[in-house]
Structure 1
Amino acid sequence: MTTGPSADPGVIDLLGLLAYAELGSFFRLADDAVLAPSLRTKGDIAGLAATEQRHYRLLRDRLEELGVDPEEAMAPFVTPLDAWHERTEPQSWLESLVKTYVGDGIAGDFYRKVAELADSETRELVEDVLAENGRAEFIAEQVRAALELDPKLAGRLSLWARRLVGEALSQAQSVAVERPELAALVTREAGTGKDGSGLSDLAAVSRMFASLTEGHAKRLSAMGLAD
């Protein structure tokens, strides 16, 4: 990959990972809009998809400013993120909404924590890209409304949410092993050194994800689901 003279490899990885995640989120939300049960909901979800596409453009433009080909920056994350989505294929519209809220939410918390260890411009961009802009409230409202109509859905959706978190943790560890530059951002905060095996980076990433459980519990509560 060709990078600018001052481009931090870990920052490039973070921006590339997030760019591909936002691009995928756009497509998934566009699909969700098609399946939505009402015209109003279709329009609301289409608006959320448009926001994700705007976020992708911001990340793409920033990578180009750094002298990086956005496609090259995203390329290392295509296989792992596609694999995560294949393993967590929703079986209903509601499962898809829960996946967006829970899966993207815990990943977003992770991106924010990593960005805190990067330069100020990267931190600000990541915060802008990950701003919910009403998405969380909208999804939580849709799930709560569905549970009011059919309370029996709560158990299945709660189990689904727990599976999503487990898969997210596993995927994060896999990415950390494959992308040591990204994991190195985490170890800056952890104060650990690299021993050549990548195990210290992996442990730091695992600890960081373990610290995100509070946010996950709040999301479940907002949707009316049990932890």
Structure 2
Amino acid sequence: MAHHAESSDPSAPKDAAAPPDDTPAAPVASALDDPEYRRGVVELLGVLAFGEISACERLVADSQMAPDLRSKVEVATMAAAEFDHFEVLRDRLVEMGEDPFDAMEPFAATFGDFHRKTKPADFLEGLVKAFVGDGLAADFYREIAAYLDPVTRTTVIDTLSGTGHSEFVVEQVRAAIEADPRVGGRLALWGRRLMGEALRQAQTLVAERDALSAVLVGGVETPGLDLTAISRMFTRITEAHTERMARLGLAA
């Protein structure tokens, strides 16, 4: 009987405690009630979502260049991970009452331009692009995430988790260089080109989107980035790129 009383008692307080469970969402709601900040968040989620779906498309196309079935499956797995990330971002926009496709559409031209200028010539270039390009994007958005409200920050960080392909890419690139050292020089140049285009894309996005840049220079209850902080941010991104290239056995 005592156990009966104990098992029914907790359920009553649980119901009674339900309203306070909503209270942690209050600060987030007030942040997103600021129209300028909200626009910046919608733009950020839109650009991330477009980046994920275009990465998925790109990897599906690159898989056609795979030399064998194992490689094709590895690249398809990367594409599936990118699509999973896209779904998280899309669902968050819907949760906010936004049309995810309207939020993504403004970034079609920027990503289209980037992918036209960085079309891989072969399977190895495609792998390096996936490894380096995704890493650079993740570094950039992770830096921005520090200036976001907790819910948006968590969403962004969750979608920047690795797609589980780094070891496969490192293996493939290092094996190719070992088989033909000349491949290393070509891929190193390719990596530098990717870095240049990715940084230009990031600067274009921030320069063209007022609300997105407003989030960077200061959001609700968050400090902004001054010029010194922006300089340090790009230094960190460049250093991380150098380390990534070194993992592949390439000079940055």
Query: TM-score, normalised on structure 2?
Result: 0.79
Output aligned runs, 1:119-198, within 5 Å. Answer: 119-188=149-218, 189-192=223-226
Matched, 1:93 2:123: yes
What is the percentage of aligned positions where both structures have the same residue? Answer: 47
**Alpha-carbon offset, residue 138 of structure 1:** 1.9
Q: Secondary structure at the match of 1:47?
A: helix
Cα distance change, pair 44–58 in 1 and its aligned pair in 2 (3 A): same
Cα distance change, pair 66–13 in 1 and its aligned pair in 2 (3 A): same
Matched, 1:11 2:41: yes
* Alpha carbons 2:142, 2:157 under 8 Å: kept: yes
Q: RMSD of the TM alignment (CA)?
A: 1.9
Residues in 2 aligned to 1:11 and 1:204: alpha-carbon distance in whole angstroms: 20
Structure 1 alignment gaps of length 5 or more = 193-199
* Alpha carbons 2:136, 2:237 under 8 Å: kept: yes
Larger Rg: 2
* Alpha carbons 2:147, 2:224 under 8 Å: kept: no
- Number of residues of Structure 1 aligned to a counterpart in Structure 2: 215
Q: What one-letter code is carried by the residue in structure 2 that aligns with 1:168?
A: A
**Alpha-carbon offset, residue 205 of structure 1:** 5.3
Structure 1 residue runs of 4 or more that deviate by more than 6 Å after TM superposition: none
Query: TM-score, normalised on structure 1?
Result: 0.88
**Alpha-carbon offset, residue 191 of structure 1:** 4.7
Structure 2 alignment gaps of length 5 or more = 1-31
**Alpha-carbon offset, residue 82 of structure 1:** 0.8
Q: Secondary structure at the match of 1:117?
A: coil
* Alpha carbons 1:169, 1:206 under 8 Å: kept: no
Cα distance change, pair 80–107 in 1 and its aligned pair in 2 (3 A): same
* Alpha carbons 1:63, 1:70 under 8 Å: kept: yes
* Alpha carbons 2:140, 2:237 under 8 Å: kept: yes
Offset from partner CA, 1:174-193 (integer Å, 9 cap, x none): 1112102112222235554x
Name the stretch that deviates more: 4-13 or 179-188: 4-13
